[in-house]
Amino acid sequence: ALNIQSRLAEETKEKTREIAAKHALYKAYPQRAISPHS
């Protein structure tokens, strides 16, 4: 059980990192540069 929890925690950290990176990119570029598809 501990192994699964730690694995989930690692996945959550990676996802949080990806989301943070995306938000940073969105903030770095002007809103006009963001295509409606993404």
Domain edges within the chain: 2-33
pLDDT at res. 35: 62
* Main-chain dihedrals φ then ψ at residue 30, nearest 5 degrees: -65, 150
pLDDT at residue 37 tops 70: no
Cβ contact 28:20 at 8 Å:
no
Summarize the confidence of residues 7-17 as an average pLDDT: 95
Q: Mean pLDDT in the chain?
A: 83
Instruction: At 36, list the tokens.
Output: 């409606």
Between CA 12 and CA 18 the distance in angstroms is: 10
pLDDT category at 25 given cuts 50, 70, 90 is confident
pTM (2 d.p.): 0.53
pLDDT at residue 33 tops 90: no
Residue 13: name the closest of 1, 3, 24, 5 by CA.
Answer: 5
